[in-house]
Amino acid sequence: MTVHIVPAPAVLVEHPTAPLLLRAGTRLLTCEAGLPAAALLAEVLARATGRALEVEVAQGPVPGALRLELDGDLEPVPGGAVGDAPGLATRAQEAYRLDVDSDGLLLRARDLRGLLRGAATVRQLVELGGDGARIPAVQVEDAPHHGWRGLSIDVARHFFGPADLEPVVDLLWLYKLDVLHLHLTDDQGWRIDLPSRPELVARSSTGAVDGDPGGAFDGQTWADLVAYAADRGIVVVPEIDVPGHVNAALHACGDLVPGGEPTPEYHGIDVGFSRLTAELPATSAFLRDVFTDLAELTPGPYLHVGGDEVLTMAHEEYVDLVGQAAAAVRAADKLVVGWQEVATTSPAPGTVVQVWDLRQDPAPLVEAVQGGALVLMSPATRAYLDLKYDATTSLGLDWAGHVQVHDAYDWEPAAVLPEVPGHAVVGVEAAVFTETLRTRDDLMWMLLPRLPAIAEVGWTSPDARDWADFRRRLARHPALWSADGNAWHPSAQIDWLG
């Protein structure tokens, strides 16, 4: 096989016939509803080839043209899925079929999101050679295995704004991920301006780990990022971490601190020392206000309440405070996500519990699933892409060991915890915490090449995944990364070709 699609599609047939040549004047045709996908495809192909494609609303075959069509009668794609994630696109909505020969390209899907997934495949298929740009003759039938395929980025310890995150969103689109989860608050900083609590950003957004510069999203930059992601079929899930990891809030709001004195700023990387206090009158109003504001700023279906590493609080108080945060999210008509520890609070049915630490007792998680909770898999030993590649890696941490490309690839989310039924697992999410990451290059260097491995774990069914074949396909992808100006780590596990 010569085609290098990542994630691996459900069906791929390579035809030994002439490719489609992209010439000056090549037309890109679609229906009105398909225009967002066509416009995005035209943009990325123009960057890749140097040739502008004119997008037209038109029907019917045209020799040499690229056509994107919405087809409500498209037959189901072969294979099955573990399960859809409530609030996100279904498997059928993300499915697409692609046919390319020398006379044209036809991309069909039932839904715009399917066209967006197929457009990413088209971008990966483009080849540059002496005769210009071409797309090999192929037939692809494809749909995701898991409904939730995400990346979490910590923008609290070091701030990454729109200029850094939009290239990450482009990377998520390229590899058919559908969730960007942003860890917006922690001990070191508060990174989103909320209308009812302007003091949070005013007092707690200017610093970062080691005293580095901070930053925050205002209403407009947040809306712009959310819209940029939505244009690529990606949902933004914002996280305000409570009732621990809250020193930035305690520094801004003295009424959240027993005694009323704001805490000092914190620029270290320790965890577990800060906490809200249930008995203070200001605490309930704070939780209600911040999650209500966040819901109004974020059109997506989910809000993340954090809940991890609360090490200095009685369990009863923890249950109370997590319950208040979750109630505020539900009152705003959003779905609740929380880190693994929230399983101990008897979460409401439909709550998504994000597993990160396989050393924890699985019994509360099993009980939560029996009560109707769902599970998102982010085990640190597989999916934490802030962990070092190996002992020589200059960036990252090693508290859970090292994560090489093979570690990120060789696992199945639905089989991580045998005690948890596979049907309760909504998907997989990689995570990047930023204690040691300061720049876009730092971030990309940790994501690439491991994020494509996680993407294939999320998209491709286990019986269609093969490490040797993945290595072969991934070896060609640095050309894509370099074309977009992205740094990457030349892991010795891959025999790189470009």
CATH of the domain at 121: 3.30.379.10
CATH number at residue 310: 3.20.20.80
pLDDT, position 60: 81
Same domain for 152 and 137: no
pLDDT value at 132 more than 90: no
Residue at which a domain ends, from 106, 125, 142:
142
Same domain for 312 and 245: yes
Same domain for 138 and 174: no
d(CA 438, CA 267): 14
Please name which of 162, 140, 433 lies closest in space to residue 308, comparing C-alpha atoms: 433
Is residue 480 one of the residues assigned to a domain? no
Same domain for 445 and 307: yes
Where residue 1 falls among pLDDT bands split at 50, 70, 90?
low
Surface-to-core class of residue 428, CB atoms within 10 Å of its CB (0-12 exposed, 13-18 middle, 19+ buried): buried
Question: pLDDT, tens digit, for every residue of 373-389?
Answer: 999 999 999 999 999 99
Residue at which a domain ends, from 142, 164, 185:
142
Same domain for 439 and 310: yes
pLDDT, position 498: 59
Owning domain of residue 440: 148-462
Same domain for 335 and 221: yes
Q: What's the one-letter identity of residue 160?
A: F
Same domain for 298 and 447: yes
Total domains in the fold of the chain: 2
Going by C-beta distance under 8 Å and a sequence separation of 6 or more, which residues neighbour residue 452?
6, 7, 175, 474, 477
% of the chain surpassing 90 pLDDT: 93
Same domain for 440 and 360: yes
Exposure letters 73-86 (e unless 16+ CB within 10 A, then b): ebeebebebbbbbe
Please, what is the average pLDDT of the chain? 96
Question: pLDDT, tens digit, for every residue of 187-196?
Answer: 999 999 999 9
Contact 37, 66 (CB under 8 A): no
Same domain for 98 and 37: yes
d(CA 144, CA 461): 8
pLDDT, position 54: 87
- Beta strand pairing call for 132-135 and 127-129: antiparallel
Long-range CB contacts (within 8 A, 24+) of 161-167? 161/215, 161/217, 161/221, 162/217, 162/221, 162/224, 162/225, 162/228, 163/440, 164/439, 164/440, 164/443, 165/225, 166/225, 166/228, 167/440, 167/444, 167/484, 167/485, 167/486
Q: Which are the catalytic amino acids? A: 309
Contact 436, 399 (CB under 8 A): no
d(CA 82, CA 277): 40
- Whole-model pTM: value is 0.98
Region 98-109: what's the mean pLDDT? 97
Question: pLDDT, tens digit, for every residue of 157-198?
Answer: 999 999 999 999 999 999 999 999 999 999 999 999 999 999
Is residue 160 one of the residues assigned to a domain? yes
* Lowest mean pLDDT, pick from 54-68, 87-101, 391-405: 54-68
Is residue 485 one of the residues assigned to a domain? no
d(CA 374, CA 368): 8
Same domain for 213 and 92: no
Please name which of 141, 94, 462 lies closest in space to residue 470, comparing C-alpha atoms: 462
Region 411-424: what's the mean pLDDT? 94
pLDDT value at 79 more than 80: no
Please name which of 472, 470, 467, 478 lies closest in space to residue 495, comparing C-alpha atoms: 472
Same domain for 261 and 244: yes
Same domain for 116 and 165: no
Is residue 1 one of the residues assigned to a domain? no
pLDDT, position 223: 98
Contact 296, 329 (CB under 8 A): no
Secondary structure of residue 404 in the 3-state scheme: coil
* Lowest mean pLDDT, pick from 60-74, 254-268, 304-318, 421-435: 60-74
Is residue 305 one of the residues assigned to a domain? yes
Contact 336, 348 (CB under 8 A): yes
